[in-house]
Structure 1
Amino acid sequence: MQTWPVNPAASSACVQASSVARLVGAIASQDRTALASAILHTVQAALPSQHCAIFAHEASRNPRLLSGAGEGGPWVAIKSATAYLRDHYRADAMHQMASRRPAGIAKGEVVVCRERCEDIEEPEYREACFTALGIRERLTVLMRCASDSWLSVHIYRIAGQPSFSAQEVDTLVGLAPVIAGCVARHYASDIDGETGFRDTVTGDIGELCPSLTEREREVLMRILDGVTVNRIAEDLKLRPTTVATYRMRAYEKLGVASRRELFAAVLRRHALAQSQAPATQEAGRTGTALLHAA
């Protein structure tokens, strides 16, 4: 996989006013095709592409699709995303780079990545997410939006089309700051509440029991997402019995015995934090008032 750093200060790419308006209108849109469609429309003039998919990669969780679109409709992007999210994202060199610890990209940094079908070593990933869907090549705008959160925008070119040229890659590098900014604002708007919920649960789990190991937290977060033990085992490349052992140890540390009790513990922790917040804020205001009085 090839990568190119993005320097917003050096970007001289021009975007048509109609494309800007479409991008701005797609931010926070509840239409799951809107943002991907607007990005595809923006890049089409300079680097013709057929499909676009946008993903969020959050902490130790499975990635999720934020938006998908294509010239003939969103179905190819959605089918590719479904196979990718279900079975193959761990084989993606881009995902491996994003999840590396310590991270090789600083918070707020943006890079452009390139992955050709013929360069993918994992045959099942290559077949399911590229060959079977007639996809030849992918350019990705990858941005790190938080310490453990990443956003990726995939631009796909189909078989029968020429490979992306060096000039087209340079064009996407120039457009990347605009694309990254729009996607980051769309993600921050949290239109479906899922981002806030997942972030809250992740934080609550850590605060409920700081002694949880990383593997135990990974297992618990997937359990809260409704993922089965067998599916978790596949995701983490572990045996189901090993996952069950991590679950048992985590439950013992938290003092719960089931997923329902785990949910209840997280909800109680979150409700307690919310109830204490106004009191803390009032104490802060009172302290400030006393300082001013003094």
Structure 2
Amino acid sequence: MRRWRLSPAPPAAFASPVVLTLLSGVGTQHLARSYLDAMHRLMPVTFCTVFAVGGSGRIETVSAASSYGSTAERTAERYVAQRFDLQDPNMVWLAARALPKRPQLWLGHQRAEEVADPAYRAACYGDVGIRERASVLLLLPGGQRAAVSFYRSLAQPEFGASDFEVIEAHAELLAAATAAHGRSAAATQGVVQAEFGSRLLGLSLREREVIDQLRAGRTAKEAARELGIELSTVRTHQYRAFRRLGIRTQKDLLRAA
């Protein structure tokens, strides 16, 4: 596992289709998809994930995209539900750093076998056939930290020097787009939370108990154990509560909460 600091670079001449594709997801639910599609024009990539955490430690941005199916999206949901950001070496490393006076950028490279936590390694690498990731890491003066990661599967070649050069050349653009996306999300967060709070008041007592367990990052099985009820009962209350809250997944719940 290695990381290296990126210094401000002179303006680069990017291909217009790459830039337009990369920026097309800012302020939408398709941020990682736009990054993945843009980088696909330049090199092979299997997944892309974007995770941003606020200065308080609250997850603020979660976005994932796959070259095939929805594997990355499901993995991201598991990452959030089990708070793997507290085990993720990139996010832990960023959280431990002193706050800078100016935004700082790094490039990181991590192979699956370098991940110490077995549950995190299995969920985000082994179970989905991922070999390694290359990440653009951003730390802001306010303590906000973000990681934009590109993954390669076991069927693809390892990242090489030319691949790192491509990512490094686009690092500042990726960081700026991610920061802009975060500001866009923050602008609407108050309205969304107020609306979500009013919907929570409409839930039954048992539905709120189940939702509280899920908001704490527990799985449905863990919630059933904590509440002393059957898993099928948890699933029923979860389904009804999600429908009333206007959400579909636990990731949606954690975003809105």
Task: Note whether the superposition's TM-score is higher than 0.5.
Answer: yes
Partner of 1:98: 94
Aligned-partner Cα distance in 2 for 1:56–1:141: 12
Aligned-partner Cα distance in 2 for 1:123–1:112: 24
Partner of 1:126: 121
Aligned-partner Cα distance in 2 for 1:182–1:107: 17
Deviations 1:147-175 (CA, angstroms, capped at 9, x unpaired): 22112111111122111112211221111
Code of the residue aligned with 1:169 in structure 2: it is F
Within 5 Å, which residues of 2 pair with 1:271-286? Answer: none
Give the C-alpha shift of residue 89 in structure 1. Answer: 2.0
Give the C-alpha shift of residue 24 in structure 1. Answer: 3.1
1:190 is paired with a residue whose SS is helix
Within 5 Å, which residues of 2 pair with 1:173-184? Answer: 173-184=168-179
Give the C-alpha shift of residue 53 in structure 1. Answer: 1.2
Which structure: greater helix fraction?
1
2:27 is paired with a residue whose SS is coil
Partner of 1:194: 189
Aligned-partner Cα distance in 1 for 2:190–2:75: 22
Give the C-alpha shift of residue 63 in structure 1. Answer: 2.5
Give the C-alpha shift of residue 192 in structure 1. Answer: 7.1
Partner of 1:115: 110
Identity among equivalent positions (%) equals 24
Q: Structure 2: which 5+ residue stretches go unaligned? A: 194-210, 219-257
Aligned-partner Cα distance in 1 for 2:190–2:152: 30
1:8 is paired with a residue whose SS is coil
Matched, 1:61 2:57: yes
TM-score normalised by structure 1 residue count: 0.60
Code of the residue aligned with 1:170 in structure 2: it is E
2:2·2:109 contact (CA, 8 Å) conserved in 1? yes
2:91·2:147 contact (CA, 8 Å) conserved in 1? no
Partner of 1:41: 37
1:54·1:153 contact (CA, 8 Å) conserved in 2? yes
Task: Give the paired residue count.
Answer: 200
Give the C-alpha shift of residue 107 in structure 1. Answer: 3.6
- Output the aligned Cα RMSD: 2.8
1:59 is paired with a residue whose SS is coil
TM-score normalised by structure 2 residue count: 0.68
Q: Structure 1: which 5+ residue stretches go unaligned? A: 199-225, 234-294
Aligned-partner Cα distance in 1 for 2:91–2:19: 29
Larger Rg: 1
Aligned-partner Cα distance in 2 for 1:166–1:83: 31
Q: Which of 68, 74, 90 is the matching residue for 1:72?
A: 68
Matched, 1:84 2:79: yes
Pick closer, same or farther for the CA change 1:127–1:157 going to 2, 3 Å: same
Partner of 1:277: none
Partner of 2:137: 142
